[in-house]
Amino acid sequence: MPAEYKATFYSTDINRKCRIFSSSMNYDNEEVHYWRDNFTHHCYPPEDQLQLWPEKPIRYREVVSAYSVEVRELMLRMLDLIGEGLGLKLGYFDGELSKNQLFNVLFQDFQVLRKGEWMTVEPMPNAFFLLAALQLKVISNGKFTSPIHRVITHQKEGRTTIGRFLIPAHDMLIEPANKDDHAADDAPLYRCFTYKEFYSTFTKNICDADFALEYFKNKTK
């Protein structure tokens, strides 16, 4: 779309529900700016969000809303499987917890850091890449984690990455899950906190994931 049209959606307000911004969420404080532009908007429920989305390109609202609904269903099914793998009771992630940012669904074509080297993840046909978010690491008490990953620019062509996230309400409590068979040696590694607390800590510290997780760890006496 023309730059003039895209400029109407540009905003540095992180609370705006539909916006275009450059680099990261912490532009003013980051030491290095990313060579990227981001277009982000809320998707669920569609009937409350569609009017905020661009009307161009034609059918954008129709196609993206249908896509986001289907991917959300995929993510909810994955949550059930994750809960089963963690030994949680059936339906643990139902209701409000299903809105938690537990993992992200991305189109493929990027790299992960393994043993100090960047390795390309070869794309697979008709597949998504699922990344465990920091909140899932907390809820799983450190069992689920995501590799350090990055996308890279192309010398001759632009690239587009599409991500789908489950974002919790700011007042939602996040803490290690209580299992029915909770073991004595499986003490909670993290204290209870709200998503608002986490988001504020994360963005104020240059989006440093390690710092944010360390901040909310239970301290040994």
Question: Percent of the chain having pLDDT more than 90?
Answer: 23
Global pTM?
0.77
Is the pLDDT reported for residue 96 higher than 60? no
Q: Please give the DSSP secondary-structure letter assigned to residue 60.
A: H
Question: Percent of the chain having pLDDT more than 70?
Answer: 88
**So where are the chain's domains?**
3-215
Q: Mean pLDDT, the chain, as a whole number?
A: 82
Determine the pLDDT at residue 100. 45
Determine the pLDDT at residue 57. 93
| pLDDT tens per residue, range 114-133 | 999 999 888 788 888 888 88
Distance CA 148, CA 168 (A): 23
Evaluate whether 78 touches 130 at the Cβ level (below 8 Å): yes
Is the pLDDT reported for residue 36 higher than 90? no
Is the pLDDT reported for residue 6 higher than 90? yes
**Is the domain defined by 3-215 classed in CATH 2.60.120.330?**
yes
98 pLDDT band, cuts 50/70/90, is: very low
DSSP-derived pairing of the beta strands 18-22 and 37-41: antiparallel
Is the pLDDT reported for residue 76 higher than 50? yes
